[in-house]
Structure 1
Amino acid sequence: MKDNWFDVLIIGGGPIGIACGLEAKKKGLSYVIIEKGPIVNSLYNYPVNMQFFSSSEKLEIDDIPFISKAAKPDRAEALEYYRRITTSNNININLFEKVNAVTKNYSDFTVITTKNKYQAKHIIVATGFYDLPKKLKIEGEDLNKVSHYYKEPHFYAGQKLAIIGASNSAIDAALECYRKGAEVSLIIRGSEVGQRVKYWVRPDIMNRINEGSIKAYFNAEVTEIQEHSIKVNTPDGNIKLENDFVLALTGYQPNFKFLVNMGIKLSDDEKKIPEYDKETMQTNVKGIYLAGVICGGMETHKWFIENSRVHAKMIIKSILSKATLV
């Protein structure tokens, strides 16, 4: 095999990307994983105290046991699990290297990254969706006081904090920051806390709202962010709240431009679901496959680790069915 020539190049070193690497290695294929950050970069960027909705066995890849101290593992345990899998299996992964372009040639692909140039017979895109936050598109969103990512609560102690959103990330942040002394206001576009909020967390946030410890504005929308306040449109009219920081935890989306630049077709509706064969995971571009949450387009709640682990075996099986490899 020539240097930087591979049967399979995997873009994304998250759990599903690692699962694809493990399967390629088991089947004797030459492969490399290109990851723009550390091992399982998306999980690394999760909130420090995040606890998974799924039990540990549902997060396992390649039938490697995931033992956790509680029924629902936390972020630290997941990071250790996937790191140990990567290192103990000598997975060929290049970290802190970003893929800039993928070009289809006559019989293979050229991949240009921030550090190198590769040739590969097949491409697996397992990039997830955590890179691009859904923007509010309002005045003041670019102020330094605004963040679309939440890490831990200590920073917000003693501050007037507005959290925009009703999903797990927003509710977890609201509870943690309240308990560290922040004055928390929840701005929720709908009429209730999200139905997909973890079942053991939902009663907690409802109790805090009902007792007034956390102020919630339902059917509300932030219309402007100012240096020391925010403007909110509520059913009772427009109000202005004193404010020190804003966490806009309104969700994230895949890098659709990256997919389109590779020639992958997206659905015409707002879901933007990529075109792929549900039996092989191959896209409309022959030789390019999708794995994991990227398959759902804007429906980022559709695919998780537990129900997309099978993609690795499906893809490698399809690749092996082809005649020529590097």
Structure 2
Amino acid sequence: MNTEKYDIVIIGGGPIGLACGIEAQKAGLSYAILEKGCLVNSLYNYPANMTFFSTSERLEIGDVPFVSNNAKPTRNEALEYYRRVAIHRKLNVRLFEEVSEVTKSDENYLVKTRKKNYEATHVVIASGFYDIPQKLGVKGEDLPKVTHYYKDPHFYAFQKVLVVGANNSAVDAALETWRKGADVTMVIRGEGVGERVKYWAKPDIENRIKEGSIKAYFNSEVEEITEGFVSIKTPEGIVKIENDWVISMTGYQPNLAFLKKVGINLSADEIMKPQYDENSMETNLPNIYLAGVICGGMNTHSLFIENSRVHAERIIEKIKSNFD
């Protein structure tokens, strides 16, 4: 298998991975960006009608303006923007190349994918957190009727839909499928919808629940899923409802097992935050860096595109100092 050599290999072709590539390019360093799926794969898997909470200028990378039709850009606008950034910057992105392992090779690191090997002095891991859904852990969760990724509401028209979750993705799925004619029920573990729900969606979902258009069980959990029904554990006891589809929007988690396999230390608590230097983003492994939301471990709501773009600058500054 052929081995390509670079100064830097960047694992992850999302916005922050692309930002790292741009900074490497500016510094005159050779690099390759390896992405397991399509370009900005995480954003591609967002709901089709999703609107960002951030304004467009906060999503910009590489000094390329992001022009949106509205104050809050949509998923489709973001996909188009980052594709144009990749074209404009002529970024060296290798798509559909999932990294299987990173090992030490003399003074460098060997990064393996199914297609080929890459050797680099420095490795940046910017793999995001959208790959592994948080499972419910109940009987029937693996049935074909259950999905952890919601895309388009039309599919659920005139169907009995159960939405599990209380935050933005769950609220969007409930409202959009209901507006396409679905009979929607929500199961929410807490006393109400999440505090992080977008300010324009929160009163909408609360009013739909209040008027009874969307049924909601609070302080409740799914107990079992079958082909035709879902059993819900509520404060009043078990409720069994007819059901065609379950949309489980209970969140996602980064591939921390991969970090551990590479040799990056994780905190011993439930957050499992990776060890890295806040100034350089370098981990406990020399010349291996973290960028983006992966830095937060299981605390996936602490970092976003807008507040982790700076990671790319910190990393390349540190790498440049190594070459001086």
- TM-score band, normalised by the shorter chain? over 0.9
Q: In structure 2, what is the equivalent of residue 140 of structure 1?
A: 140
Q: Which amino acid aligns with 2:162?
A: A
Name 1:83's counterpart in structure 2.
83
Structure 1 residue aligned with 2:253: 253
1:259-278 per-residue CA deviation (whole Å, 9 max, x = no partner) reads: 00100011101101100000
CA distance in 2, matches of 1:251, 1:3: 37
Q: Give TM-score scaled by structure 2 length.
A: 0.98
Match of 1:27 in 2: 27
Is the CA contact (8 Å cut-off) linking 2:3 and 2:119 kept in structure 1? no
Query: Counterparts in 2 of 1:39-58, with a 5 A limit?
Result: 39-58=39-58
| Distance of 1:210 and 1:72 partners within structure 2 | 27
Q: Take 1:115 and 1:141, find their aligned partners in 2: how far apart are those partners?
A: 33
Distance in 1 of aligned mates of 2:180 and 2:188: 22
**Residue 103 of structure 2 aligns with which residue?**
103
Residues paired across the two proteins, number: 323
The answer on whether the counterparts of 2:32 and 2:93 sit within 8 Å (CA) in structure 1 is yes
Secondary structure (helix, strand or coil) at the match of 2:175 reads helix
Residue 172 of structure 2: aligned partner: 172
Q: Please list, as runs of the form range in 1=range in 2, the aligned pairs for 1:1-326 lying within 5 A after superposition.
A: 4-323=4-323
Unaligned runs of 5+ in 2: none
Letter in 2 for 1:169: S
Deviations 1:192-226 (A, max 9, x none): 10000000110000010000000010000001101
Structure 1 position 3, deviation (Å)? 6.3
Q: Would the aligned equivalents of 2:3 and 2:117 in 1 still touch at CA under 8 Å? A: no
Q: Letter of the 2:178 partner, please give it.
A: Y
Q: Which amino acid aligns with 1:79?
A: L
Whole-Å separation in 2 of the counterparts to 1:185 and 1:272: 33
State the alpha-carbon separation in 1 of the partners of residues 114 and 98 from structure 2: 5
The answer for unaligned runs of 5 or more in structure 1 is none
> SS of the counterpart of 1:17?
helix
How far off its partner does 1:36 sit? 1.1
2-structure distance, mates of 1:114, 1:209: 48
TM-score (norm 1): 0.98
Counterpart of 1:16 in structure 2: which amino acid?
I
Q: Would you say the 8 A contact 2:3–2:116 is kept in 1?
A: no
Show structure 1 runs of 4+ deviating over 3 A.
Answer: none
| CA distance in structure 1 between the aligned counterparts of 2:118 and 2:49, rounded to whole angstroms | 38
What is the deviation of 1:62? Answer: 1.9
Distance in 1 (alpha carbons) for counterparts of 2:40 and 2:208: 33
CA RMSD of aligned residues (A): 1.0
Instruction: Give the superposition deviation at 1:24.
Output: 0.1
The alignment partner of 1:123 has SS state of strand
Distance 2:105 2:117 in 1: 14
Tell me, what secondary structure is at the counterpart of 1:6?
A: strand
Cα pair 2:220 2:232 within 8 Å, conserved: yes
Tell me how far apart the structure 1 counterparts of residues 63 and 196 of structure 2 sit (CA, whole Å): 28
Letter in structure 1 aligned against 2:136? L
Residue 322 of structure 1 aligns to a residue whose secondary structure is helix
CA distance in 2, matches of 1:221, 1:3: 50
